[in-house]
Amino acid sequence: MNKRTQTEKIKKTSLTYLPHLGLRIIKTSIAVFLCLLIHYLMGYKGMMLQSCITAIICIQPYFRDTKKFALNRGIGTLIGAVWGLLFLLLINKFEYIKTHELLVYLLIAIGVLIVIYTTVAMKLSDAAGLCAITFLCIVIGFDSTTDSPLIITLSRLFDTIIGIVVALVVNIARLPMIKEDNKVFFLRLEDLVVDRLSEISSGTLILLNRLFNDGAKISLVSPWAPAHIISQVENLQIKTPSIVMDGAALYDICNRKYINIDNIEFEDANYLCHTLKDMNLGYCVYAVRNNTTLIYRQGNLNEAEQTELEKLESSDLRNYIDGFYTKDDKICCIRTIDTKEKIEELYMDLTWSLPPNTYRLEMRNQPFLKDYTGLYIYSVDSSIDKMKSYIIEKYYKDIEAERVDLIPISEDYDPAKDSVHLIHRLRRLYERFGFKKKEKKGKETKDK
């Protein structure tokens, strides 16, 4: 199988991004226009504002959410309409109420309270806002001399239904797109989040989930153990395995299991741990047993190690153990943390003293431990490139897979602010507007 590799090169430029004009914004604008158009074709009968508000509220990032919200808000709107009708019948029955404007306002406020409480009691809290809006649209501005309570209620209900239907139609409709199904994207997790204690922005997660749902082949590449990916992207439908521990292992997020591990041999791990212990260093051994990540704490842990432990041990995804690993464990990584100067000195000492072609050493800053650096030691056989090749050979051998390493194009890239733009770039690489040509039988199609 011929494989091509495409790498996005870093441009030596500094970019300032404007907020992206997202698909949800465009769809919302279209939905509002369609609501206004319907009312125009109806001769401006009804309340345009009610339809537009409903459409804006019902447009959701995912179509499945639109159906759910539309149903809930349809029911909520009906509840608001019923209470609105009862309110109008009440003030029509008692002439005294209509002559005291402040009393009417007080009853409207009480009505809003009742409407919202009703939706919450019926476990339709998502519909509470629209339910209250429907109630207010019915009761405010009602003229008992010219309007019928039933007619005005049905009209406002119909206006809401227009907004719901328009939102459903707009979210269902999709432009014809050509998808690059032969591309396998590798996306670094550190380009989506500042560190493992921070959270990926909701906007970035929504865009990623759309891509996964649309069939994009995306593998997340993480320097950290799977616990961090799981806590960040638990609800994403990730089908392609993720590369974790800086290339030491492949992990299936959906099924919560390890697929491939380039582990340090037991004897080599023993040799390294004895070396670190003789240097009076504390360290952690990251191991896997029965698809469970175990973190063994050994030696004299310094203040930095203890600080990290306090931040991370409360997570049920991390299993810290005071003790020693066994032959049943697959050792993925051994790590020690100290000041930058000491780690750089240790790196040089181990580079010269450890057996050649046995270990791979990496230094990494610790974002939440100022002035501290971690030294991570892996098997010499492990690497991110090797795992990328494994994914393409194992999972996409039937297609002419094109590997795309997606990286930022700006030197001052900030994951907290710019990750959304990175995912939009991924989207543009994955699909483009157009119609897919049908392949003729007996002829092979060639990539342009």
pLDDT band at 315 (very low <50, low <70, confident <90, very high): low
**pLDDT in the model for residue 235:** 66
**Position 8 pLDDT exceeds 80:** no
pLDDT band at 344 (very low <50, low <70, confident <90, very high): very high
Q: Which amino acid is at 168?
A: L
Strands 217-221 and 359-365: unpaired
Euclidean distance between CA atoms 165 and 69, whole angstroms: 12
Euclidean distance between CA atoms 177 and 168, whole angstroms: 20
- Span 111-135, mean pLDDT? 87
- Span 359-364, mean pLDDT? 93
pLDDT band at 446 (very low <50, low <70, confident <90, very high): very low
Helix/strand/coil (H/E/C) assignment for every residue in the chain: CCCEEEECCCCCCCCCCCCCCCHHHHHHHHHHHHHHHHHHHCCCCCCHHHHHHHHHHHCCCCHHHHHHHHHHHHHHHHHHHHHHHHHHHHHHHCHHHHCCHHHHHHHHHHHHHHHHHHHHHCCCHHHHHHHHHHHHHHHCCCCCCCCCHHHHHHHHHHHHHHHHHHHHHHHHCCCCEEECCCEEEEEEHHHCCCCCCCCCCHHHHHHHHHHHHCCCEEEEECCCCHHHHHHHHCCCCCCCCEEEHHHCEEEECCCCEEEEECCECHHHHHHHHHHHHHCCCCEEEEEEECCEEEEEEECCCCHHHHHHHHHHCCCCCCEEEECCCCCCCEEEEEEEEEEHHHHHHHHHHHHHHCCCCCEEEEEEECCCCCCEEEEEEEECCCCHHHHHHHHHHHHCCCCCCEEEEECCCCCCCCHHHHHHHHHHHHHHHHEEECCCCCCCCCCCCCCC
pLDDT tens figures, 294-307:
999 887 777 777 77
pLDDT-above-90 percentage for the chain: 30
- Span 312-341, mean pLDDT? 85
Which pairs count as long-range contacts for 23-26, CB under 8 Å and 24+ apart, including other chains? 24/59, 24/60, 24/61
**pLDDT in the model for residue 32:** 93
Tokens of 344: 């750089």
pLDDT tens figures, 215-254:
899 999 999 888 878 877 766 778 889 999 999 999 998 8
**pLDDT in the model for residue 127:** 80
pLDDT band at 11 (very low <50, low <70, confident <90, very high): very low
Tokens of 445: 């199609």
- Decide which of 7 and 409 is more confident: 409
**pLDDT in the model for residue 251:** 94
- Span 22-51, mean pLDDT? 84
pLDDT band at 13 (very low <50, low <70, confident <90, very high): very low
**pLDDT in the model for residue 316:** 63
**pLDDT in the model for residue 410:** 78
